[in-house]
Chain A
């Protein structure tokens, strides 16, 4: 298996890299790295702290992911590596129906019990017994799990699903000796977690702040370097921005308008920000079940009409770049299909050209027959549309205002509407909208982006468009390609399938990619260092990364700038 070999090389490469930068290094105090200090983190708005650290609660405290309960392996979004963590690696069988993970030896739960593959097995069976706990939906493709020995566990797949490795690697094992005693693991409020994470000791929890202290039994010797991570409550962006400017936050994940002057200028030597343009692409969705959005010519005209530079530079404050027509973005450059890109260039997609857009509409029969300044549908009926954006999401609102102006410029009567978040989502899901801006899905490969937008199985029985299938554009070709991708692990075959998907995407324009989502990230070096920087962006820096574990790489790496800076607070 070429793919298997490739993955294994990747894993061993990652191992070497990890060891070379010191994960699991043997030198404890002699490494010259200062210890101590409390790092203050802020990335989500909350007002009071509630004691709930269950790794399964969908509403969980953001810290339960990664810092408390660790995954088997950490997927680094920036370079695509899968870094060994609680598991040291995995092997696929030749028929792609079994996947064997090797579990790390010498790891202890923070109560002193030994962690081994039995805990992983217990966790897997727990999520099978209680589907409410299967947040990774792994039982959608798994058939059974069996123990080979105390440090080897085998996953048997019911069907070939080549992305299973990454999904299983995200599993966060829970301790069997604690969880097996529970009456109801679904409603278990894990107030005093027994976990393996670097900051898994809840040492302070008050109405407006909580702190996670370093786990003294952590398996990476000498790490973490800091004593604790503190989460203060900030109910809104204004409050966290003020705190950032005041130097109260060391590690932030907030959107700050005009960040150079509002934040960085307050202490240019220490206040840093870097918005990696590797987030999932933000798109313009069109309801293809309605006219004129069911007409590919109209959708193509929209793609030609938008001033992408203005959207990115004015709407998004220049914090990102215009998307390419395939929507893959810089993170998945290696997957880009030259053919698809050439075809997109031929069609003029994702290039600001109002005259070309107008010509496309003329040709397709959208003309201003009654002379009111706006085009009508080819059958002569009036045409007007609402472009939706979530109320209060200021960067998106400005972007959509520019887009609606662009549409007006080519004679399309478009207005901006700003429903509240819940209503906005409901409109998209029930198909009660014309055009809307929206996010998309990210994953280990670009497959998730296309699957979550184009897979016809996402249209529920109740006619609800799940995930980001809001355009409601489905085709048998797309379904077949999406299925073909996960049925093989051969990189060449996968590349070909994805190229075909890109071609299908640019030919049909089911949605218009606008820009890769910037990942908000600020760090303050008055006391701490070791953060990913613009020059050394070793992993995703933003502490806001819901299911992503890459912040774990940052957390075990941050340390005091010197022995005096991090005095007792």
Chain B
């Protein structure tokens, strides 16, 4: 319990620091959101009209310390402000549209990649030099080293444009109305999810598998494994309950981190497959110097990573008695 409390204290400090960084970092970029917005009209807006833009976006123009305190006080009230690039839509609404899709696609793909990677890693370590170890491991390793954009484009051209098995993009067929209670729509969503999810899983699985395999191998050389085998326990029991339970601990931290980063979206996947999500929202925010939107996305990611880590810490306590003692 003391361990958890100490961690909670640490997370609180981390949150406070990151709230300040979320405010500072976007503003360190060169460029003025109002001038950028004017520039995007490429000479089709009268120069005198920039006054009206400054009038509109006065809230990102004041002295930095004033903006900071406004930001903090609004944050305490749960108000993330109004997006610049999507003015006058509130930041929370802008993020909300992409968030659901990101959670479904990237969340699912991350869980699949982790589970499959861990499972394959266990098998590879247990039966070293056999199929999982000598064939699957190098293939997944190779896939994770692929430049993602290239792999995704290749998959898109081959399976969507070439063979026509999958759609060219979007999260659902635009000929079907968006309606979560319609089976037709749901199947369209699933169909549209296959290619993007597959590319994410393919590139992520290798890392989990390799990490798990290596941890497994070092755990397998421990005396208690030999002891367990000597006691005549079944292979299954030794493999999962004795070896994997201990070997998975380092991977869990990584998994917690990546679950937190799920909320950051998968920018390249979103672009290649025209898939909605937080990644593109963040890209737009950066390109337009949309400070409130950047702050909002960063805050969301920070909180998610912290919460995920807290969960991982809790899991540690449950799985590893040594931590409980400490």
New contact pairs (7) apart from A136-B46, A208-B276, CB-CB < 8 Å:
A47-B98, A47-B277, A47-B284, A136-B49, A186-B88, A207-B101, A441-B43
Residues of A within 8 A of B171 (CB): 207-208
- How far is the CB of A212 from the nearest CB of chain B, in Å? 15
**Complex: A425 Cα to B37 Cα, angstroms:** 11
**Complex: A135 Cα to B38 Cα, angstroms:** 11
The 8 closest A-B pairs by CB, nearest first: A441-B43, A422-B31, A137-B48, A132-B55, A187-B88, A467-B47, A206-B178, A47-B280
Q: Judging by beta carbons under 8 Å apart, are A48 and B36 in contact?
A: no
**Complex: A232 Cα to B174 Cα, angstroms:** 8
A397-428 Cβ-contact flags toward B at 8 Å (1 or 0):
00000000000000000000000111101110
- Identify A429's interface contact among B35, B48, B89, B284, CB under 8 A: B35
What residue of chain B has the Cβ atom nearest to residue A54's Cβ?
B88
Query: Which stretch in B79-87, B224-232, B247-255 binds the other chain?
Result: B79-87
Q: Judging by beta carbons under 8 Å apart, are B89 and A189 in contact?
A: yes
A50 at the interface (CB under 8 A from B): yes
- How far is the CB of B91 from the nearest CB of chain A, in Å? 11
Residues of A within 8 A of B82 (CB): 187
Q: Judging by beta carbons under 8 Å apart, are B85 and A59 in contact?
A: yes
Residues of B within 8 A of A137 (CB): 46, 48-49, 51-52
Q: Judging by beta carbons under 8 Å apart, are B276 and A280 in contact?
A: no
A168-208 Cβ-contact flags toward B at 8 Å (1 or 0):
00000000000000000011110000000000000010111
A91 at the interface (CB under 8 A from B): no
B residues contacting the other copy or chain, number (CB 8 A): 58
Q: Judging by beta carbons under 8 Å apart, are B276 and A48 in contact?
A: yes
What residue of chain B has the Cβ atom nearest to residue A430's Cβ?
B30
A-B contact pairs, 10 of them (CB 8 A): A52-B88, A167-B46, A186-B88, A187-B88, A230-B174, A235-B271, A422-B36, A423-B29, A426-B35, A440-B43
Q: Judging by beta carbons under 8 Å apart, are B274 and A235 in contact?
A: yes
Residues of A within 8 A of B85 (CB): 59
Q: Judging by beta carbons under 8 Å apart, are B30 and A59 in contact?
A: no
A236 at the interface (CB under 8 A from B): yes
What residue of chain A has the Cβ atom nearest to residue B170's Cβ?
A208
Residues of A within 8 A of B39 (CB): 425
Residues of B within 8 A of A130 (CB): 55
What residue of chain B has the Cβ atom nearest to residue A419's Cβ?
B30
Residues of B within 8 A of A234 (CB): 169, 274
Q: Judging by beta carbons under 8 Å apart, are A188 and B88 in contact?
A: yes
Q: Which residues of B are interface residues toward A (Cβ below 8 A)?
A: 29-32, 35-37, 39, 41-53, 55-56, 82, 84-89, 93-94, 97-98, 101, 153, 161, 168-172, 174-175, 177-178, 270-272, 274-277, 280-281, 284, 287, 289
Most buried by A among B51, B88, B280: B88
A134 at the interface (CB under 8 A from B): yes
Residues of B within 8 A of A309 (CB): none
Residues A50 and B89 in contact in the complex (CB < 8 Å), given A135-B52, A207-B97, A464-B35: yes
Most buried by A among B30, B175, B274, B275: B274
Q: Judging by beta carbons under 8 Å apart, are A134 and B49 in contact?
A: yes
Residues A422 and B43 in contact in the complex (CB < 8 Å), given A50-B97, A186-B56, A208-B276: no
Residues A441 and B44 in contact in the complex (CB < 8 Å), given A58-B53, A187-B88, A425-B36: yes
A32-75 residues with Cβ-Cβ distance < 8 A to B are 47-52, 54, 57-59
Residues A439 and B43 in contact in the complex (CB < 8 Å), given A232-B174, A425-B36: yes
Residues of A within 8 A of B93 (CB): 50
A103 at the interface (CB under 8 A from B): no
Q: Judging by beta carbons under 8 Å apart, are A59 and B94 in contact?
A: no
Q: Judging by beta carbons under 8 Å apart, are A50 and B94 in contact?
A: yes
- Identify B37's interface contact among A58, A134, A187, A242, CB under 8 A: A58
Residues of B within 8 A of A239 (CB): 168-169, 271-272, 274
- How far is the CB of B84 from the nearest CB of chain A, in Å? 7
- How far is the CB of A253 from the nearest CB of chain B, in Å? 13
- How far is the CB of B64 from the nearest CB of chain A, in Å? 16
Residues of A within 8 A of B46 (CB): 136-137, 140, 167
**Complex: A234 Cα to B87 Cα, angstroms:** 21
Q: Judging by beta carbons under 8 Å apart, are A132 and B37 in contact?
A: no
Residues of B within 8 A of A47 (CB): 98, 270, 274-277, 280-281, 284
- How far is the CB of B142 from the nearest CB of chain A, in Å? 25
Residues of B within 8 A of A280 (CB): 42-43
- Identify B174's interface contact among A58, A132, A209, CB under 8 A: A209
A108 at the interface (CB under 8 A from B): no
Q: Judging by beta carbons under 8 Å apart, are A134 and B52 in contact?
A: yes
A471 at the interface (CB under 8 A from B): no
Residues of A within 8 A of B50 (CB): 466
**Complex: A189 Cα to B89 Cα, angstroms:** 7
